[in-house]
């Protein structure tokens, strides 16, 4: 990875600042991108990376600062703010973290969208198809142009996002957390593509919170922390520990898992079948056992059935056949039955499934226990008891908030997750299902979640951890299983598993020993 210090600057951000109300997302950020280089924008969740890129691409307008892009002749000209149209015209393309694709349209239609003037009466699909074909050959990215996007796998969708951008002649690519949804092998494939693009003269900004990948792919790295840029240096001569400390601002102590002998099986799934829909796989003959005092991990790329598994375990999806057994007794699949049986569930998407935004923290805490004595008497809510209870939880879990009666939507992601954890653990569950529990959380909040899951495990709770973050799985779990195309592999002890092996299994290219 050679740094190219004398390549011309193609993109220059100066003094970018952006606030959302009281939250300062970006402050006085300067950034230069040179032709042919891969610049990594490194920072933990919430550091301001995505905001900066959204400003670059015109989704947001910066409060302060300016952006200049190199024109045809190489001279830097100002970029109009707040206009994706202007960014695209200036040769900037963005591959979004949450794909910006219309699912019911085809690949070709998504590529062509917006590329011809709206008043023209012809789509010229034939011409577009030819151009796309040439592009696919050049870049090495391949997808069937007539396939409906809803039927594409996650890796294919990402390829489509990149092709869309290349189709518009982008010379500057910004990729926002592109590897979050890829297997290790797919990540390698992506890096091959990126290097090829760079060799063809493109310049790339690679946004990530994953140190390993940044070190593997980037020429230079800019580190964001708390909205500010704290470092900007060539990768050569920089080591992981230094970058980690720059990212977080302090020494990070890894969570320690002590080997323990697990107890008897707590929760058992037998031969679970769920039918798939919209071209996504269902679940076939899924069986697993979660032992008390262990953390069982489920690895897998999203779309392979993890959400369905979480739904079955959480009671929101009723399997077509198969049974769920808790401590030897069969369990009826419904969220209410799960809650009452002492199964704690941390949902995948806290905004969508976890909390009700306009209700207060106290009310959200009470939601799972609306029939319990602590919350109601004769059907009437006991407000004082609810508030006291919430204040205890806020103290115990260190939730930063305006108060127990404040609407929960005011809280940051990390603090919302703390409330959810409080709600889960207050019922002293015997089983805990954690579905992507640290997604979108910064390192501090993530470490907190890890600590609580490990503590629960040490207390004898049976924990199931579904996660896309393989490092998290390897650090926390006692056993790991892989979910591919609706089938679950046999769990393997974590000592017998490597990242590479997990990756191969996730891609369906290897079996558990």
Partner 1 sequence: MQAVLDIVIAASFWEAAIRIATPLMFGVLGALLCERAGVLNLGIEGIFTAGALAGWLSVYLGCSLWTGVLIAALTGALFGLLHAVLTVPLGLSQHVTGIGITLFATSLSYFVYRLSLPSVASPPTIQPFRPVHIPGLSDLPFLGTALFGQTPMTFLAFALFAIATFILYRTPLGLAIRAVGENPAAVEAQGLDVTLIRMGAVVAGSILMALGGAFLTMSAFNAFFFEMTNGRGWICVALTVFASWRPGKALLGALLFGAFDAFQLRLQHRIGGAVPGQIFLMLPYLLSIAALVTIARGADYPKALMIPYFKGQR
Partner 2 sequence: MIRFEPRTSVPLALRIGVPLGAVAAALCISAIPLAAAGAPILRAFALMAQGAAGSVFACTETLTRATPLIFTGLAAAVAFRARLYNIGAEGQLYAGALAAVAVGSGGVSAPAFVLVPLILIVAALAGALLMLGPTVLRVKLGVDEVVTTLLLNFVVLLFVQMMLEGPFKDPMGGGWPQSAPIETAGSLPVLLARTRLHAGFLLALVASVVAYVLIARTAFGLAVRAVGENQAAAGFAGIEVTRVMVLVGVLSGALAGLAGASEVAGLKGYLTADMSRGFGYAGIVVAMVAALAPLAVIPSAMFIAGIFIGADTMGRTLGVSNYIADLIVALALLCVLVSGLFLRFRIRFG
Q: Which residues bind partner 1 (CB under 8 A)?
A: 50, 54, 57, 59-60, 83-85, 87-89, 94, 96, 98, 100-105, 109-110, 112-123, 164
Tell me the sheet residues that pair with 435: 466
In the list partner 2, partner 1, none, the entry touching 370 (Cβ below 5 to 8 angstroms by class) is partner 2
Q: Which residues of 190-203 are buried (b: 16+ CB within 10 A; e: fewer)?
A: bbeebeebbeeebb
Q: How many C-beta neighbours within 10 Å does residue 146 have? A: 11
In the list partner 2, partner 1, none, the entry touching 375 (Cβ below 5 to 8 angstroms by class) is partner 2
Q: Tokens for 324? A: 């769920």
In the list partner 2, partner 1, none, the entry touching 357 (Cβ below 5 to 8 angstroms by class) is partner 2
Residue number with CB closer to partner 1 (51 or 179): 51
SS3 state of residue 502: helix
Q: Which residues in the 116-145 window bind partner 2 by CB under 8 A?
A: none
| Residues 292 and 461: beta-carbon distance below 8 Å | yes
CB of 97 to partner 1, least distance (A): 8
- 127 sits in which H/E element: helix 125-139
Q: Would you count residue 277 as binding partner 2 (CB under 8 A)? A: no
Quick one: which of 368, 303, 302 has its CA closest to 341? Answer: 368
Q: Would you count residue 237 as binding partner 2 (CB under 8 A)? A: no
- In this chain, which of 254, 380, 384, 513 binds partner 2, going by CB under 8 A? 380
Q: Would you count residue 48 as binding partner 2 (CB under 8 A)? A: no
d(CA 304, CA 280): 7
CB of 343 to partner 2, least distance (A): 10
d(CA 64, CA 66): 7
Interaction pattern, residues 331-370, with partner 2; x per rule: CB under 8 A: ---xxx-xxx----x-x----xxxxxxxx---x--xxx-x
d(CA 13, CA 225): 17
Interaction pattern, residues 396-415, with partner 2; x per rule: CB under 8 A: ------x---x---x-----
Q: Tokens for 187? A: 């990540």
Q: Would you count residue 437 as binding partner 2 (CB under 8 A)? A: no
SS3 state of residue 45: coil
- 12 sits in which H/E element: strand 9-20
In the list partner 1, partner 2, none, the entry touching 50 (Cβ below 5 to 8 angstroms by class) is partner 1
Tell me the sheet residues that pair with 38: 204
Please tell me the count of residues contacting partner 2 according to CB under 8 A. Answer: 34
Residues contributing to the site for partner 2 (CB under 8 A): 21, 314-316, 334-336, 338-340, 345, 347, 352-359, 363, 366-368, 370-371, 375-376, 379-381, 402, 406, 410
């Amino acid at each position: 990875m050679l740094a190219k210090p004398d390549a011309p600057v193609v993109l220059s951000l100066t003094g970018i600042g952006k606030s959302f109300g009281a939250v300062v997302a970006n402050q006085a950020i300067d950034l230069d991108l040179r032709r042919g280089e891969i610049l990594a924008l490194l920072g933990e969740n919430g550091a301001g990376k995505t905001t900066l890129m959204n400003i670059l691409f015109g989704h947001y307008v910066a409060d302060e600062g300016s952006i200049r892009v190199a024109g045809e002749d190489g001279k830097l000209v100002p970029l109009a703010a707040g206009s994706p149209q202007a960014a695209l015209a200036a040769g900037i393309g963005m591959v979004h973290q949450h794909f910006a694709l219309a699912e019911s349209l085809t690949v070709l239609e998504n590529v062509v969208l917006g590329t011809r003037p709206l008043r023209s009466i012809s789509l010229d699909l034939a011409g577009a198809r030819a151009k796309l074909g040439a592009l696919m050959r050049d870049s090495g990215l391949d997808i069937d142009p007539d396939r409906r996007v809803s039927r594409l796998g996650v890796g294919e969708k990402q390829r489509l996002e990149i092709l869309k951008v290349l189709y518009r002649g982008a010379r500057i690519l910004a990729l926002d957390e592109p590897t979050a949804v890829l297997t290790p092998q797919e990540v390698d494939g992506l890096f091959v593509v990126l290097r090829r693009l760079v060799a063809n003269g493109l310049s790339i900004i690679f946004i990530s919170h994953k140190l390993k990948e940044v070190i593997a792919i980037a020429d230079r790295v800019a580190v964001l922390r708390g909205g500010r840029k704290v470092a900007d240096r060539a990768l050569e001569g920089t080591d992981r520990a230094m970058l980690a400390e720059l990212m977080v601002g302090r020494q990070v102590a890894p969570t320690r898992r002590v080997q323990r002998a697990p107890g008897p099986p707590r929760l058992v799934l037998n031969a679970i079948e769920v039918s798939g829909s919209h071209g996504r796989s269902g679940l076939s003959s899924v069986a697993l056992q979660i032992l008390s005092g262990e953390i069982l991990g489920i690895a897998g790329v999203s779309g392979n059935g993890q959400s369905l598994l979480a739904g079955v375990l959480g009671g929101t999806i009723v399997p077509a056949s198969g049974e769920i057994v808790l401590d030897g007794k069969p369990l009826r699949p419904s969220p209410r039955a799960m809650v009452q049986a002492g199964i704690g569930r941390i949902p995948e998407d806290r905004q969508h499934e976890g909390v009700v935004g306009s209700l207060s923290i106290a009310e959200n805490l009470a939601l799972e226990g609306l029939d319990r004595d602590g919350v109601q008497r004769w059907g009437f809510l006991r407000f004082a008891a609810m508030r006291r209870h919430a204040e205890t939880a806020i103290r115990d879990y260190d939730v930063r908030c305006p108060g127990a009666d404040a609407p929960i939507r005011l809280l940051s992601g990390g603090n919302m997750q703390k409330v959810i954890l409080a709600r889960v653990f207050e019922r002293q569950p015997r089983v805990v299902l954690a579905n992507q529990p640290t997604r979108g959380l910064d390192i501090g909040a993530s470490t907190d979640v890890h600590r609580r899951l490990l503590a629960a495990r040490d207390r004898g709770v049976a924990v199931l951890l579904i996660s896309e973050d393989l490092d998290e799985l390897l650090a926390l779990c006692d056993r790991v299983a892989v979910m591919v195309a609706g089938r679950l592999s046999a769990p393997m002890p974590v000592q017998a598993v490597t990242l590479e092996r997990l990756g191969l299994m996730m891609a369906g290219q290897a079996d558990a020993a």
